[in-house]
Amino acid sequence: MTARSTALRLILGSALAAVAAFSAPTFSKDVAPVFNRHCVECHRPGSVAPMSLLDYKSARPWAKAIRDAVISRKMPPWFADPAHGSFSNDPRLSKTELDTVRAWVEAGAKEGDPRDLPPAPKFVEGWQLGKPDIVVDIGVDHNVTLGEDAYEHFTVPTNFTEGRWIRAAEIKPGNRAVVHHVHVLLVHEDPARMQAASTLNAPGLPKFLVSEGKLTRIRADAPVVNDACAVNAPDLPFLRGFQEGGLAAFLPGRPPDVFPDGTAKWIPPGAKLEFVVHYARVAGKPQTDRTSVGFFLAPGPPEVVLGRMDLRNFFMQIPAGAASHEVKRCYTFEKDTFLLSFTPHMHYRGKDITYELIRADGKREVLLSVPRYDFNWQLVYRNRDPVLAEKGSTLIVTAHYDNSPNNRANPDPSAAVRWGDKSEEEMMTSWIEYLDAAKVRQSGRFQTSRASK
């Protein structure tokens, strides 16, 4: 190699290095906008994640972990298999965003010029949706039972003298340290509708349930049905049809319930609300909680009333040690229905869950597949376009549970597990927001290619 070519290479080399240094992404200019879009809602002081990604100083020590978490798609949390369905709340980084974060870390995670920083995102403390029109709380400063999980039920009047259409409902835990999750249900005066609305009042179900303290579970000697789709499944309560779901829910990772444009839910005059609050095990000093729900009024009657279909299989049983135990639940549509979103719910042994539709013409379509379910994240998957399930088509929900010692979240592989409130027991629940397709057609909404086919 000649002296000349070496010199040339040196010059070229340093020029390349200079270009690289010049174009290497910086926190201020390139990475902060990505974090602001995808991360800081959770990664900021006082929110759910362990560290803040709002500023360089807090983010820098995490650079390598951040690279790994975005490359492996562990963050932001999202569990739908991208091969199926398309979801409007999919938070995943684009390829370009992912490459930016990776290049930033690999070039030394530099700060860059703080003057390049985008404006700091604004967060509303308290209500995420802004000030509600009406707030109803649980009615007491509840003393949380120390040392155990508890499901508390609070039934409170709304004192509504006239019925109200609501376009959104946000639940605000009174004490985030103890409130794990919350459901708000409408208590119907009409007993038939009440029975359909509340799990505890499901006709025929109570005789299969036992209560222990503040928790309910299925009796050990209740019939076992893992495949509720099998034609010969006995006629047990709620293995057919569906239960009409609650008004609103607060779950880890779930945004407040904002109903799609043109839809609303109805709260009749004189209605009562039932709050079901799951208080996580509390150690140490006594704590109180006063959880509330904020309602946002719709401007008037909606074009279409939003419904929530809850599908459950109360009669499942997972054998001790089973590594991939299958549980199924089906529903055959009695009229054309638009499906807006899916929220799967299982506990620690939940492994995967799939939603398939068999159309009237026999075509089978996977609407959502969650190949690795994670109890810590109770996500909602909102269909980008509403999915039309024609009358006569069947939704098949198939879940698998891992009750083996290989499941690190498994509290006890030696136990056969049945339905119960406790996280150590199991559930198989799906909430599906839906609209009556005939009403949607009248309203002229959702005339997308997928929805109108």
Query: Could you list the residues that contact ligand HEC (CB under 6 A)?
Result: 38-39, 41-43, 48-50, 62, 65-66, 69-70, 75-77, 93, 253
How far is Cα 284 from Cα 14, in angstroms, rounded to an integer?
A: 60
Least separation, in Å, of the C-beta of 102 and ligand HEC?
Answer: 11
Compare residues 42 and 305 and give the one whose CB is closer to ligand HEC.
Answer: 42
SS3 63: helix
Compare residues 272 and 347 and give the one whose CB is closer to ligand HEC.
Answer: 347
Least separation, in Å, of the C-beta of 70 and ligand HEC?
Answer: 5
Least separation, in Å, of the C-beta of 148 and ligand HEC?
Answer: 24
DSSP string of 394-449, one letter each residue: EEEEEEEE--STT-TT-S-TTS-EEBBSSTTSB--EEEEEEEEHHHHHHHT----H
Least separation, in Å, of the C-beta of 74 and ligand HEC?
Answer: 6
Burial 4-20 (b: 16+ CB within 10 A, else e): eeeeeeeeeeeeeeeee
8 A C-beta contact, residue 169 and residue 271 = no
**Centroid of chain to Cα 81:** 15
Least separation, in Å, of the C-beta of 38 and ligand HEC?
Answer: 4
Helix (H) or strand (E) holding 151: strand 150-157
Q: Where are the alpha helices (DSSP H) in 330-382?
A: none
- What are 420's two structure tokens? 């119960």
What angle separates helix 63-71 from helix 95-106, to the nearest 10 degrees? 150
How many other C-beta atoms lie within 10 A of the C-beta of residue 386?
24
Compare residues 75 and 368 and give the one whose CB is closer to ligand HEC.
Answer: 75
How far is Cα 218 from Cα 211, in angstroms, rounded to an integer?
A: 9
Least separation, in Å, of the C-beta of 281 and ligand HEC?
Answer: 18
How far is Cα 8 from Cα 145, in angstroms, rounded to an integer?
A: 76
Q: Among 259, 242, 220, which residue's Cα sits nearest to residue 397?
A: 242
Compare residues 50 and 147 and give the one whose CB is closer to ligand HEC.
Answer: 50
How far is Cα 116 from Cα 56, in angstroms, rounded to an integer?
A: 12
Compare residues 238 and 348 and give the one whose CB is closer to ligand HEC.
Answer: 348
Least separation, in Å, of the C-beta of 42 and ligand HEC?
Answer: 3
Least separation, in Å, of the C-beta of 380 and ligand HEC?
Answer: 12
Least separation, in Å, of the C-beta of 63 and ligand HEC?
Answer: 9
Cα dihedral 129, 130, 136, 141 sign: positive
